[in-house]
Amino acid sequence: MYDKYSMVADEFISDDEINETLKYADENKSNRELLSAILDKARKRKGLDHREASVLLACDLPDINDEIFRLAGEIKKDFYGDRIVMFAPLYLSNYCVNGCVYCPYHAKNKHIARKKLTQDEIRAEVIALQDMGHKRLALETGEDPVNCPIEYVLESIKTIYSIKHKNGAIRRVNVNIAATTVENYRKLKEAGIGTYILFQETYHKKSYLQLHPTGPKHDYNYHTEAMDRAMEGGIDDVGCGVLFGLELYRYEFAGLLKHAEHLEAVHGVGPHTISVPRIKHADDIDPSVFDNGIDDETFLKIIACIRVAVPYTGMIISTRENKNVRERALKAGISQISGGSRTSVGGYAEEEEEDENSSQFDVSDNRTLDEVVKWLIDLGYVPSFCTACYREGRTGDRFMSLCKSGQIQNCCLPNALMTLKEYLMDYASPETRKAGEELIMREVDDIPNPRTREFAERHLEEIGNGERDFRF
Ligand code: SF4
Ligand code: SF4
C-alpha cells in the first residue's frame, strides 16, 4: 500500500503505485488538456508531484516537449540565476564488500588495484585539489567495515578541513558513503559534513536485489530508508540519485520523485540535491550489457522534468558526461558540476600507471578545472565556489526558506562573484582571469539590493588586494 508518510521503503516507494503512475502517464501522454494544466501548475514554481511529472516525461507532443524545456530553463534561471556550483570528487578507498554488478569496485573483482589513502596521502590529494582552486569536495568510498570503517572516514574529514595550503581551503565536505546507522550519521554530522549523498541506484526492488546479489547493500529496505536515518542523525541536507541505465528510466524517475515527496512529508524538507549519473564503461564493466541505457535526448528530458518538478533542489552532473551533453544539461536544469575530476583513489596527486587503474568509471570530460571555468564563463554562466549556506548554518529547511523567499539572488550572486574572484586571483590562467573579471563587472550590476551590491563591490576590491573568505 502506498503511503508517503510510512517509514517502510516498500510503502513510501510502492511498486504498485509506480506501475499505476506509469500506466496513467501512458494513457495521458498525448492528452493536451491535461498536459497544459500540468504545465500551468509548474509555471507557479511550486513543483509537481510524481504523477504529474511522469505525464510530462511520457509526453509525445513535440510542442509540449519544447515548452517543458523552455520552462525548465526559465525556472532554473529564476532560482539559480547564471550560477553553477563547482565541486570535485575525492576517492578515499575502493575496498568494497558488496557485489554491485555495475561497479568495478565489486568484491569479486580481483584484478582492480585496491587502494586506501593514508592521512598523508589525503593531505597530498587535498593540496592538489586546493591548488586547482576547489573549495567543495564529495568524498567517495566503497563499503568495507574492516578497511574503511567510520572512524577512518571521520579522521579523513578532519584532515581535509585542517589543510590550509597557500590561500586554499576545503570549506564543504559532502560525503558519499554506504548506508549506515543513525549513530554513524550523527558522527558524520558532528564532523561537519555538508550533504550526505547516497544513490539509490534503482528503486525497482526486484532489479535491485539482482543487481546487488551479495553484501550488506543487498538489503533494499535498509538502503532505501538510509536518508531517514541520516535525517534522524541530524543531517538535514541529503542528496539522492539513481544510476540511469539499470532499470526503465520512467520507473526510476517516479521512484526518485516519490522518495523526495516522502522526505518532504516526513522531515519537512526534500533532498538538497539530485544527481543524474548514467552507467558508463569502467574496468570490467561494459554498459551495453545493461539493456535500459538511455539516449542523450531522453536523458536531457529527464533533467528538464526533474527541474520542473522540484524547482528548489540542486541538480548535479559529473564528468561521466561529455562536454556537449553537459552544456545541454546546464540549459535543461543542472546547477552543479564537477571539474578536473579524477575517479581513481589518489588520482590528483599522482598519475596512475596503466596497470594500476583504480577508477570507478571512465571520465568523459577530461578538461582541467581552469578549462571548465573558462568554458562556463564563455557560455555566460558564473562558476561559483560558494559554500556559505553550510558555514552559516543555512541547511535543511533554513536553506529551503532562503530559496522560497526569493532572496537567493541577493545572497548567492554576491557569494558566487566573490568566490569566483578568489579563484581568478589565486588559480586561473591569464585568459580565464580576463574573461572572469569582465563577467564579474557585468554581473555585479545584477545584484538587486543596492546595499548588498555595495557590500559585494567593496569585498571584491578587498579580494583583489589579497583578502579572502567573505560571505553572506
Ligand atoms: S557501487 Fe559502491 S557499494 Fe557497490 S561495489 Fe561500487 S563502491 Fe561498492
Ligand atoms: S549562498 Fe548558499 S545557496 Fe547560495 S550558492 Fe552559496 S551555498 Fe549555495
Nearest listed ligand to the Cα of residue 361: 1
Ligand 2 atom nearest the C-alpha of 408 is 4
CA of 387 to the centre of ligand 2 (A): 6
Tell me: do 96 and 184 sit in the same domain.
yes
What pLDDT, on a 0 to 100 scale, did the predictor assign at position 354?
A: 63
Say if 379 falls within a structural domain: no
> Ligand 1 in contact with 143 (CB < 6 A)?
yes
Q: What is the pLDDT along the chain (472 residues), one digit of tens a residue?
A: 899 999 999 999 999 999 999 999 999 999 999 999 999 999 999 999 999 999 999 999 999 999 999 999 999 999 899 999 999 999 999 999 999 999 999 999 999 999 999 999 999 999 999 999 999 999 999 999 999 999 999 999 999 999 999 999 999 999 999 999 999 999 999 999 999 999 999 999 999 999 999 999 999 999 999 999 999 999 999 999 999 999 999 999 999 999 999 999 999 999 999 999 999 888 888 888 888 899 999 999 999 999 999 999 999 999 999 999 999 999 999 999 999 999 999 999 987 776 677 888 889 999 999 999 999 999 999 999 999 988 888 888 888 777 777 677 788 999 999 999 999 999 999 999 999 999 999 999 988 889 999 999 999 999 999 999 999 8
> Ligand 2 in contact with 389 (CB < 6 A)?
yes
> Ligand 2 in contact with 330 (CB < 6 A)?
no
Ligand 2 atom nearest the C-alpha of 472 is 1
Say if 339 falls within a structural domain: yes
Boundaries of domain holding 35: 9-76
> Ligand 1 in contact with 202 (CB < 6 A)?
no
Tell me: do 342 and 426 sit in the same domain.
no
Q: What is the 3-state secondary structure (H, E, C) of the chain?
A: CCCCCCCCHHHHHCHHHHHHHHHHHHHCCCCHHHHHHHHHHHHCCCCCCHHHHHHHHHCCCHHHHHHHHHHHHHHHHHHHCCEEEEEEEEEEECCCCCCCCCCCCCCCCCCCCCCECCHHHHHHHHHHHHHHCCCEEEEEECCCCCCCCHHHHHHHHHHHHHCCCCCCCCCEEEEECCCCCHHHHHHHHHCCEEEEECCCECCCHHHHHHHCCCCHHHCHHHHHCHHHHHHHCCCCCEEEEECECCCCHHHHHHHHHHHHHHHHHHHCCCCCEEECCECCCECCECHHHCCCCCCHHHHHHHHHHHHHHCCCCEEEECCCCCHHHHHHHHHHCCCEEECCCCCCECCCCCCCCHHHCCCCCCCCCCCCHHHHHHHHHHCCCEEECCCHHHHCCCCHHHHHHHHHHCCHHHHHHHHHHHHHHHHHHHCCCHHHHHHHHHHHHHHHCCCCCHHHHHHHHHHHHHHHCCCCCCCC
> Ligand 2 in contact with 224 (CB < 6 A)?
no
Say if 3 falls within a structural domain: no
CA of 386 to the centre of ligand 2 (A): 6
CA of 251 to the centre of ligand 1 (A): 22
What pLDDT, on a 0 to 100 scale, did the predictor assign at position 394?
A: 85
What pLDDT, on a 0 to 100 scale, did the predictor assign at position 355?
A: 64
CA of 365 to the centre of ligand 2 (A): 25
> Ligand 1 in contact with 106 (CB < 6 A)?
yes
Tell me: do 361 and 401 sit in the same domain.
no
Tell me: do 355 and 233 sit in the same domain.
yes
Tell me: do 288 and 339 sit in the same domain.
yes
Domain boundary among 19, 51, 76: 76
CA of 75 to the centre of ligand 2 (A): 17
For ligand 1, atom 2: residue with the closest CA: 142
Tell me: do 71 and 150 sit in the same domain.
no
Say if 39 falls within a structural domain: yes
Tell me: do 315 and 440 sit in the same domain.
no
Domain boundary among 366, 396, 422: 366
> Ligand 2 in contact with 420 (CB < 6 A)?
no
Tell me: do 239 and 265 sit in the same domain.
yes
Say if 471 falls within a structural domain: no
Nearest listed ligand to the Cα of residue 79: 2
Say if 423 falls within a structural domain: yes
441: left (phi over 0), alpha (psi -120 to 50) or beta: alpha
> Ligand 2 in contact with 411 (CB < 6 A)?
yes
Tell me: do 136 and 257 sit in the same domain.
yes
* CATH number reported for the structural domain that contains residue 304 in this entry: 3.20.20.70
Tell me: do 132 and 33 sit in the same domain.
no
Domain boundary among 366, 401, 432: 366
Q: What domain count does the chain have?
A: 3
CA of 388 to the centre of ligand 2 (A): 6
CA of 331 to the centre of ligand 1 (A): 31
Say if 119 falls within a structural domain: yes
Tell me: do 52 and 133 sit in the same domain.
no
Say if 437 falls within a structural domain: yes
Tell me: do 212 and 235 sit in the same domain.
yes
